Structure 1
């Protein structure tokens, strides 16, 4: 070890590292040995790290002189194991100014005060070590107390760590139920981790006092303290020296106590140990309270789960009883309906007999009206029968091609007697022929309900008008039917509510309002819309729209039939092998038949082989029949292929939607073979007539559509915008309009693919238009401005990537804007309309 020299251990007083020469410090070293210190000396500063590791000194004495002393202090401060020690400067041999100015912790001026100075340094070090140890243990206890361990494990670890810091022969955690408890439970103790027992507080006065006062109790001398007088004999046999009890209180709730005891010792609990017990008690009390709350919540959760199970069982029983009652109701409805049909058939039979006899004109009209109304009641009975079928209790309709103008005139004629009785003039204004696909009986009921309601609320000697007009829209024309009276009208706040079921109001006349609710249901089943308005001239107007059938279907009805010698090709798209085999067997007697097993394959085959007809199931794998039909109609090379849809589902919406989306027919499974051949022949005939019609007249682009993108042009967009704004204002729903404008005009070829990119980001109901030069407009129904801005912000990067242009966007709420939509478009940055030549 070079010049270093170790002394033999003379006592447990402490260890000192001396920095200096041995020869000049013999007296100093002898004094240290005599005082009981273990020392090690060196003047080689390079040995300091090794000596600090091996000797582990409690203090450092710098006995070097001059520059060597300054270098020694710098080396001490740089060593991690020495920088925390107290450094003393030795001035016993010299009064050097360097040592006097050395930034040491203390100075030793003579040998007599050396021992005192070292003892002070050692006490400070031991105090710091104890304090650090307690802080580390307190941190560990806090971490354990906030962990996810069970409470028993937490308490066991806590008493172990407290026992390692405080020199006690007993460390226990005692819990109580409340402050009035006469007993307590020992749940964790250092001597026996698994111990759990109940104790009588009467035998532990110190514990009782701590729980009563909620203050720490210290018994320094158990045999002399008056508090322990009643248990002195027991304390003497155990040799108890001192007791410390720290109550566990959290948020004014008494939970228990931390109990510490020292037996057969010479020292009791010092101030540091008392403060440590207080800190541990605070952490432990919080932990115990949280554990109790968790247990309480868990118990409550278990009780709630049990109550939920019981409630579920009750609801299940109630549901079963409701099903039984519903079944009984269905049976009653079925019986009543059957019993009503018999007398109705008799009435209709006698009505027909009356018509066959000699009647004057007035009697004949009355008999015809009786027969029509009887048939209507019979149809309602049939609907009631369908409702009596149980879970499939939905109204059904049978769609066929109808003239809505004829329906209006017939309904007015049937109710003319009622209007005459009330002195109300009733007339129909339906000059144009408008064909649609719908259920004649249900639409009759809608008209008669609205007309009857209008007659009842018209003025005396007033009038009711039924108007049917065509409303042109870019996505398909609709019939607009208005039933208007001149009565008191409807308060504005009730306009959106008059169709609510069982609601009574001014227009409902205090009734249930079922008639208007049924009208709304029937109109919406046909894909239409119904609402009420208050006209400026007074009274009330009930308006509904219905989608009209395609123009081509009406135009080709009178074209001549031309046969062809070539056998037509039919593509069957069906995923069930048995049904596909039946279809092929029925159709191949007259046609060439191909088969596809799913919607995607059927669409691909139709595009490649261009069949004359597609017979397709609605519910198919990969791509359903409705989507496949839309895809065929949206492509120019397959739009002319007629489609017949098949389905075992008896739902109304599918049937109407299929016919209105371009399918020429709809058949329910199971189907009749002859009916399938008849409908197939009719569809092929329609295809031939359409082809001849296309050859006879050049195709003209429908006004309202943009030729570049296939989106709405300015005119088409304004028509749709007017429609959506009107609907939004009727139902108090927002409608937003967004305009996307490029930084410069966009070439037509750059817009290819833009509609698909935008539609991938928009909702199905959102409407897209191209206003020219790459300027795009989006109508967002039922969408406020903030949501519209977010939606447009998400699609802008995709549009810019597709067109390689930078776009700016502007959004406005048009449902509450009083400006005309043309001005709103211009305000948002849309280009001005191109003037017509």
Structure 2
């Protein structure tokens, strides 16, 4: 209260009787002394009216009284209207208003103070949250937090203690308001009972008066010495994981942590706990990444060393094979050469027989050397053939002669039964190995002093004659339930047949033949295989074929060099042959040389066989050329027929040499009219149709394009997405300007089709669903700006879907209907 001493003391006495605590000052100069013993919540001005303005200005100059409400006493002032113009919080006009006015001013001041504290807490909490979500290090975030919390709560100590696990015995002070430089201080949790209780219960612990609280009894001598009065411990828990605690302390007597301070500490603890957990997870992930990188480097080093050793061993193996083959070949060639010279001279009958035996065995050794070289070439050599014309009857007789010594050791009679010359085109080394494996296997299973017979006969079939070779023994035979297993690879044991029969099966099928096992009722075991025979005209042609100008020209398109060589070798017996290594080269050569036939693999680099066929049939210059497609992929024949691309025939790999010649002859002799070929070219062009002005496919063109691209993506296991963009309402036609937007955002390989009613179907090769959605996230706003209509998207990875393309488009919401 400020005013004359006598009047002020009288008012103070009245206010004291009404429960107020009062201090009196005669003027502004006496206010500091009066407020030293009392923190005023309201100031009553009882001065003369002419001094009110001067006194009020002096009060506002005192910092800690600047926001305290001021009430003016006008009971002894004649003109109360003058006081209303001053910046006071209330005016008392009568004695009966004294207490109500002061109580109202007290409530208003306390409410304003509460709002100010709330505003301060929310601002500090926002700053702490922003720091926690920033890129600052964890220690910097915690230092900011303890400083803000200490300023809001008025505590003289605010610290963050971190622990490792719920049963940790020690903690680490990582940030403290009292001494910011004090970090990574290890403490024993047992020495702080309030901290121990908060960590054990995971609940806040409030000590209002430390000198009287039973929890602090064991440490009371220590806290009395430092003047600890009130303590608040808020545990830091995130997703049920205990991380530490927020520790607050008041040392001034009469101070404690109210409900607002407790709620603020709880909110800050939630933010800090989440930040600490994220920091620990980040540290763990970073450490794990470093460990993985180190392990990757070590593994890479190990693999590099192993690869280097393998290369060195492979080089050494090649050198050994090369040296052995050279050192064996040279003397063998000398021996065979002198043997032939002797054979050409005048020899007695017994001498001639001996020289023939020497030459025959020398050839056998030379064949073994060639086999050694072939095995050194690896898997690629085993799965390729070097075809030439050979007589199976002679091959059977030679194999029987070579293995007679082995059969004689067991007293087994080995003989061949062949009545005529049986010519075919095949790989002599591989067929010789097949016969040797089967005959050796028969000798091994025949009974003692038994018989093994090798027969070769002609087999007449509707699709062309074949050679049937049978190897039969008189042993115990093969159980019926084992017949379908004898050609399985790596079947060892009492009932096993080893690896040789599996190799026989591969070699026979590589020649386009079949092989199987039988168990006749009488006894013994029988292995049978068939091989397609050469045609009579081919059999008679023993001299090298001279290419005549009138011979048909055949273009072979094949990327595998071994298969291309076999195809060319087989076809050169009748035709002039050119070879291309990929689809683009094949189309270019076909347009340049105009061959009479194209024999093309389906799976080709750059441009596969299906696309190349479409390209040839779409051009009037090459539409008349018949195309035969080759593939080892299951189900490709049905796909080719479904696409109806214009191929005249399809053959699967491994192919039959004679069947290839027969089908080639049939394709060349098939009648073809230029008009029908023109119609076919027009048909293919129609199926791949689109608008040349907009470069947008229609429904039919999109289906043809999708058939080809989906087939490629599924064959090569590459991602491919198809998307449908639908407007929120149907449009009468393709929106103007939409094509420019689509072409601007899409890549060159992507295809766009307008399905009608403003609906677009888009094909994105080499793109997964996530990448496609990212593209449309950029594209759809631009499309809406141009069309004025919002669009919705539906995306599917067609490489993972086995449905036909029209079914996939239907599921995505494209209006397929009747193809336009």
TM-score, structure 2 normalization: 0.50
TM-score, structure 1 normalization: 0.49
